[in-house]
A and B are shown apart, each in its own frame.
Chain A
């Protein structure tokens, strides 16, 4: 068995030697470079762009503007296509936009022989605008009279609204004796900040088809979007995806592939490279939606819910991209994490004149968990209950079934995860010790839960294809449409394939590069789907190949196929465990058979019609220096039930990365827009605080391995889950340490100063002696009691 073992990554050697090829490493040396001109107003219309001077600059090949591009809006979201027009993504942007909708919108491009010429030409372009009023706040933008951002399409700025009703909220809140706990919770705009910026290059060949080599998570989807943007048949576009330097959802969008494909068509098919700068990554790619949520819970004195209400506004930015699906997913978590008989939820996704919100690791759930799990802590604080006991009692119970996704909580996952986390971080002792602290430096420990959906069925199709080609030595090439983006899927896919067929891991060669001309369809790296979804087609295809091998084994050994098995690359007679021949010998004889030569291969698609809940918990131990307004995470543990671990070492590494990203989300990161202009103020890695080695404690990780019954390998989501619960756990730890509940991320010194001041925690300049008193912070949850 290869599944369950901590094999080293199949791509590790190439990556530590610098040999692994990323998009820039494959770009032809003669490629032209391109640079984009970005708008310097947040909202308005380009009246004129003077290109005369730029076009004269030596080395400039062509200058193209928003007046040259096809008048064809296209959608960019990395969702599988839906043949039902009602479920298709919103097509609201062009390759370059005359109607500019955020500070930095793409309005012109220079193609040049080198970057110096291109940069110079960009500076030589002069633009005349007609400026419109702009709006940066989604709640303001949702109101009547706000400047219309997509007036061409709709007469308000609400991209979408959805709601959910369970029971009767209005009636339920009349129950006498209820305690009302309510609060606002805010999460900021953050950016994925993968270390490799998005990059692509495009060229034409073969009768004017276009090939784009791109740093993308979703080659097959990008092919469709690129063709739609060009107005071409989809087969005329070919996308190649080499190794990529991280994606985290940003590259789950068609970023600049459509533009780059169009650029090559404007210069006779000559290769054109579009290399995005770090500044452009922050402003002109995608960001995580900022969300503003208001939650009201009506509690009985015994700590049970009578009724609950959630309203959330999600900041879409200038273009639809993934749009409302993100807020809708976050909203959907609310009634499931803590079920209640009477629930009302509403979510609005609203356009603003800011960078575009897209998919980012967790897809609405990190925001939702901050809202949910901060609010739960406010409830237990108000009611003076134990936070762990409350969660054990009220969170999704064993046997919970969601009729839409058909997901089920099969095991006591939350309690099992909590038990492990509590033990690992020594929660009980620390929680007791950190009660009633005084003094300027205090510690606290806090917890937060999450649940996560593994894949996207039944909202979208879930399908995956796989091809296996056997070599004469009995090894195989494994080809899938699912993409390696750093998470390690090539390695776990190889393990799955080896086990299904009966080969050793070294017999499986993973064809890592997706090329839409040769790779069978797979939707790519998003949700936390690939290990789960890919597993179905790998298992099915492996079984098909195994059947073929055993049929030939029957011919070659005269033994009945059902008495034969393949173990570690050898055909074995099961009745006496005798090794009859190697698979390599069989493959060679089969291919070179004078009568019935056969190239052994198998291919299949599996349409998956299930999904799976993934669960976990974070407990964070934090030290707060009150005079410095600084919170430091001393220890943090994540425990996950992600089913059976295919590769424990890689799974743990995946959790580290997710925790790290959440540490940034919780404590440091926020993309800031200038309220006067809409310009992004911190579009670089000095001013945007990405966590470094210094900001991390050692990260504690553990697992509860409840095999997922719907998966052939017992697996379910792990890619995004680790990033869902750390931020609220840190927030809840700060609450225990200081008595101040802070409901706006990130919890950086600026915010802590503001909140500590409001809470009156500073008594004199030098001295901080006020004891913690829960619920005292000005803006936090208001608690009122029903008459």
Chain B
């Protein structure tokens, strides 16, 4: 029999510092769901293929299903729940997904939104083809991606415009 091993970790989760004890074998996805009730973190494969579990770690995108929970120690982790402010206002990218009908079953949606959020934070302007390339790690079986690309492009243009950059 193998003894379970636990480790105490402290990290920033959606802007707040948290501390918890985790089984050293547990994935970040499982810990976020089990310990913090973050239902936006979905699992569609658990081996890093589908992107449904995408979260931001120190601002970069990771498949949380193949990222050990203990590795989050000292890091900054963000999920879709973290995009909503305390008054309940959703982020521009979430609104764009609603407005562009980029949501169907919704299972890929939070992962896609996190991947998109990272792109938007770069402040770069991406062409549609570049967006397709950057988002190709997230799978969606419902939308044909068309409206997802539209939503990301729309939010990107709005953010760039707000930052004083000329729309193309």
Contact = CB atoms under 8 A, between A and B. Distances in A.
Given A196-B44, A699-B144, A686 B49 contact: yes
A660 B105 contact: no
Interface stretch (A18-26, A92-100, A383-391, A530-538): A18-26
B101 A649 contact: yes
A592 B147 CA distance: 47
Interface in A629-664: 649-650, 652-654, 656-661, 663
A638 B48 CA distance: 33
B133 A694 contact: yes
A170 interface: no
A220 B164 CA distance: 55
B158 to A, nearest CB: 16
Given A58-B1, A195-B107, A693-B149, A660 B90 contact: no
A269 interface: no
Interface string B83-104: 0100000100011011101111
A12 interface: yes
Contacts of A495: none
Contact of A696 (B1, B41, B106, B144): B144
Given A9-B98, A195-B44, A16 B139 contact: no
Nearest to A663: B144
Interface in B57-104: 79-81, 84, 90, 94-95, 97-99, 101-104
A698 interface: yes
Contacts of B113: 16
B142 to A, nearest CB: 5
B103 A9 contact: yes
A193 interface: yes
How many chain A residues sit at the interface, stated as a range, is 35 or more
Contacts of A15: 103, 106, 109
A22 B39 CA distance: 9
B47 A17 contact: no
B87 to A, nearest CB: 13
B105 A486 contact: yes
Residue from B43, B137, B144 with most neighbouring chain A CB atoms (10 Å): B144
B126 interface: no
Contacts of B39: 18-22, 25
Contacts of B45: 278, 684-685
A9 B101 contact: yes
B81 A487 contact: no
A126 to B, nearest CB: 20
B44 A245 contact: yes
A780 B29 CA distance: 50
A392 interface: no
B20 interface: no
B107 A278 contact: no
Nearest to A656: B144
A226 interface: no
A649 to B, nearest CB: 5
A246 B108 CA distance: 10
A1 interface: no
A694 B136 contact: yes
A8 interface: yes
A411 interface: no
A18 B81 contact: yes
Nearest to B99: A8
When A and B form their complex, which 6 residue pairs have the shortest distance between CB atoms, in order from nearest?
A18-B40, A486-B105, A245-B107, A15-B106, A660-B144, A656-B144
Given A16-B110, A694-B133, A696-B132, 6 more contacts: A16-B103, A194-B141, A653-B147, A659-B144, A690-B141, A693-B148
11 contacts: A192-B141, A195-B105, A196-B107, A245-B44, A246-B107, A246-B141, A277-B46, A278-B47, A686-B49, A693-B135, A699-B144
